[in-house]
Amino acid sequence: MKADTKIQKMISEKTGVEFEYMPVIGGADQAKQKYEIWLASEDYPDIVNMGVDNISKYRDGGALQPMEDLIDQYGPNIKKKFGKFYDLLRDKDGHIYSLGNVNLSKETPANVQGSFVVQYDVLKEAGYPQIKTLDQLFDVLQAYVTKHPTMDGKETIAFSGAGADLTYNNPSVNAAGLPDHGRFSIDSDNNVHVALTSDYTKKYYGFLNKLQNAGMLDKEIFSLNYETASTKLAQGRILAGFFPQWVLGGPESSLIAAGKTDREFAKFPLYFDENVQDHSNTVTPSSSGNNWAITKNAKHPERIIQYLDYLFTDEGQKLISWGIEGQHYDVVEGKRVRKEEVNNQIKGDPDYLINEGLASSNSMFSFGDGAKLDDGDYATPLTADAIAGNYDDATKDILKKYNKKIWADFLAKPEYIPAYLWQLNAPEKSTAIMKKMEQAWQKETPKMILAKTQGEFDAAWNSYVGQLDQAGLKNLEQMWTEKWKQYIEVYNKATQK
């Protein structure tokens, strides 16, 4: 987050609060180490922006100041916007130790899209079929690869992935039409189950095995990560796979720049069969992964709350998401419209939003794409018209073939759920069990996918499930079930007041 941007300067003018930022450089391991050093030395910043696990460590270490009295006195907009969800901020001791956003979206955000993707040219050659199941995708890919075994002198890759979760876990959850609780699922009785040994995971491994035995699975799929997968996607040789937009964005920009718009990707939800009921498009009270917490080193915590409270006003929301009226957007017939020159800057400069202050840690307090402010207009610029207006001609043509305006139109209607499991603090000792299970998961999964016969596949699956059981699967499910049911009890009390 930069302190000298137009947006940050205006927020500082409105609140009288300025920040000196201490960026944590490096990946997750470096960040974790930095947080632990701060905690051990008690030399931490006034504010920390962390995930729930680290917030808990700081709380238990006595490093955080409770916020509830400060919010009562200085945070009327925070309380107003959280409304019935306000008590969900409270820890088990009744204190509020951190603050994230409240998600006020009541519709599918226009920038959300399916993560199963298929190249435009594949769809064109197949006559733009309706693809709803994995088997239908298989047939379309097989026909294309048979006709085009190579691409630009290299072997055509029918299906690929981008790291363990995006290859093995998340696609199986999506194909089953379930909410994204990470490596878990939750049944109708609020019991938590490990997804890694579920029937739908076995089905998805069977699909990957089918691709493998047909010579259609990326030969490097077990060693790919986000970076290496992005490189291969940008070459245009991968026909399909499971790639969320945060993986796909850069490679697609490269394809467009190279004039290979026929190698862009359609984004679909796909299922195991047409009888799957899709409950994957979900809305939760908060969409935040990280929260802000005030440490005991802060000498003026009330000023911090006043600053945050401003972000919870409609004026603050417009600033952090839309920018400055007249500079970043105009009001046309009562509706906010981002300036065309701003759209062009965004397309041409990947750092534009950061440099303007429109992509900063303030943005984590957004009410959400698809949410509306008190004036009835959208809280963020990611509206259907704006998203569709930024599509290139090739994308508009593909969507027209399917009678859709944006990729979000393919998704099921959004459903409200109390939370995602990964938004809760992990139960004590659960991390150690999951690490043991991960070792077996990453070691044994290739054996199933590479199996030559159904008998070999079943034997590998049974061995794999046994190893996860030995690692403590049942204990892990019990821990998370207790955690989830405790949260649901709090959720029901908070929302039924």
The average pLDDT across 225-252 equals 92
Both 123 and 256 in one domain: the answer is yes
User: What whole-number distance in Å separates Cα of residue 346 and Cα of residue 279?
Assistant: 33
The residue type at 46:
D
* pLDDT band per the 50, 70, 90 thresholds, residue 497: low
Q: Which of 351, 382, 413 is the last residue of a domain?
A: 382
Average pLDDT over residues 125-150: 97
Structural domain includes residue 28:
yes
Same-domain pairing of 225 and 339: no
Residue 456 counted as domain residue? no
pLDDT tens, position by position, 312-356: 999 999 999 999 999 999 999 999 999 999 988 887 887 898 899
Sign of CA dihedral 75, 77, 79, 85: negative
Decide: 266 and 144 in contact? Cβ < 8 Å: no
Is 402 inside a domain boundary?
yes
121 and 217 part of one domain: yes
pLDDT tens across 29-49, in order?
A: 788 888 999 999 999 999 999
Q: DSSP for 234-285, please give it.
A: HHT-EEEEE--HHHHHHHHHHHHHTT-GGG-EEEE--BSSTT------EE-S
Residues 143 and 273 in one domain: yes
Residue 24, in any domain of the structure = yes
What CA–CA distances, in Å, run from 325 to 143, 158, 342? 52, 47, 12
Helix, coil or strand: residue 97: coil
Give yes or no for residue 155 having a pLDDT over 60.
yes
Instruction: Label residue 1 by pLDDT band (50, 70, 90).
Output: low
Residues 392, 372 within the same domain = no
Q: Note whether 186 and 291 are same-domain residues.
A: no
Query: Could you tell me if residue 50 is left (phi over 0), alpha (psi between -120 and 50 degrees) or otherwise beta?
Result: beta
Q: What is the pTM of this model?
A: 0.87
Of 104-113, 161-170, 319-328, where does the model show the most confidence? 319-328
Three-class SS state of 482: helix
Q: Is 58 helix (H, G, I), strand (E, B) or coil?
A: helix
> Which residues make Cβ contacts (< 8 Å) with residue 133, sequence separation at least 6?
270, 271, 272, 273, 274
Whether 152 has a pLDDT exceeding 90, the answer reads no
pLDDT digits (tens, 9 = 90+) for 7-22: 999 999 999 998 888 8
Answer whether 240's CB lies under 8 Å from 158's CB. yes
Task: Give the residue from 318, 353, 382 where a domain finishes.
Answer: 382
Domain of 395, CATH number, reads 3.40.190.10
Contact 282, 180 (CB under 8 A): yes
Task: Please answer whether residues 446 and 205 qualify as being in contact, where contact means their C-beta atoms are separated by less than 8 angstroms.
Answer: no
Q: Give yes or no: residues 198 and 295 share one domain.
A: no
What is the domain range of residue 260?
A: 116-280+388-422
Q: Which residue has the tokens 């030395």?
A: 41
Whole-number Å distance between alpha carbons of 191 and 100:
26
Question: Within this chain, do residues 265 and 408 fall inside the same structural domain, yes or no?
Answer: yes
Residue 342 sits in the same domain as residue 365: yes
Domains: count for the chain: 2
- Residue 192 and residue 252 share a domain: yes
- What number is the average pLDDT over the span 474-496? 93
Q: What whole-number distance in Å separates Cα of residue 98 and Cα of residue 57?
A: 12
Residue 473 lies in a domain: no
**Same domain as 223, residue 126:** yes
Contact 471, 433 (CB under 8 A): yes
Residue 312, pLDDT score: 97
Q: Are 482 and 427 in contact (CB under 8 A)?
A: yes
Torsion sign (Cα): 35, 37, 38, 39: positive
Query: Is the pLDDT assigned to residue 2 strictly greater than 70?
Result: no
Six token digits for residue 59: 């709380």
Is 297 within the bounds of a domain?
Answer: yes
Q: Let me know whether 261 and 154 are in one domain.
A: yes
Residue 462 lies in a domain: no
206/344: higher pLDDT: 206
The 10s digit of each residue's pLDDT in 441-469 is 999 999 999 999 999 999 999 999 999 99
The domain boundary, picked from 372, 399, 422, lies at: 422
